[in-house]
Amino acid sequence: MAGCCCNEEDIASQGLQLRQKRMLWAVLAINAVMFLTEFSAGLVAGSTALLGDSLDMLGDTMVYTLSLLVLHRGARWKALSAGVKGAIMLGFGVIVLAEALYKMVAGATPTSWLMMVVGAVALAANLACLVLLTRHRQDDVNMRSAWICSRNDLFANTGVIAAGALVWVSGSVWPDVLVGTAIAALFVASACGVLRDAINRYRQAGSRVHAGA
């Protein structure tokens, strides 16, 4: 009977990993396509907020790739993956902040209607990703960090749309700059949280390994 229980647990674990894998491939594809779309639109529109959001899409693509690589590995590997994700988020936050600071000095007013349209498309794409990730967010630290990345994207997308509307109304570059700065702040705060969680989980997994030895 004990052997049967172990076999059932293995089958359940394999089924969960298969569902996670399919879901991660789906959100990876969505984010890769949206990175290319937003980055191109950001260059055309001259928008810091769109460029920042496109870098976030690129970061998420890398994040989901890492999640797939460690999907069948142990707790320490998943904690390391979450740590890498946190570092990526932190790096993109610094990049967006630097771009926003540059725009304060030498920026031109971006194309507001393009910001709003592309921001709305990105919001719809990220809502789809969040729906796919939500059912798996409590599976492990790897899935939770992926869910946090997707949740943050919704705030960034909404900010891009709002910035586009404000640029259109005011004719000023400042809404674009302020949203870019807010996106950077959100990334940095979330990255610090993910890194703390990853470090704690890595230590806990190491303690269990040593205790088992």
Distance (Å, whole) CA 41 – CA 54: 9
- For residue 10, being part of any structural domain is answered with no
User: What is the extent of the structural domain holding 48?
Assistant: 21-212
- For residue 9, being part of any structural domain is answered with no
Distance (Å, whole) CA 129 – CA 184: 21
Of 9 and 180, more confident:
180
* Residue 142: per-residue pLDDT: 66
Does the predicted TM-score (pTM) go above 0.75? no
Query: CA of 98: how far to CAs of 38, 94, 95, 102, 183, in Å?
Result: 19, 6, 5, 6, 12
- Domain of 30, CATH number, reads 1.20.1510.10
- For residue 96, being part of any structural domain is answered with yes
Mean pLDDT score, 115-137 = 89
* Residue 165: per-residue pLDDT: 95
Mean pLDDT score, 179-194 = 79
- For residue 142, being part of any structural domain is answered with yes
User: What's the total number of domains in the chain?
Assistant: 1
Mean pLDDT score, 33-60 = 87
pLDDT tens per residue across span 62-115: 777 776 776 666 677 777 777 877 787 788 778 778 878 887 887 778 899 999
- For residue 88, being part of any structural domain is answered with yes
pLDDT over 70 percentage in the chain: 82
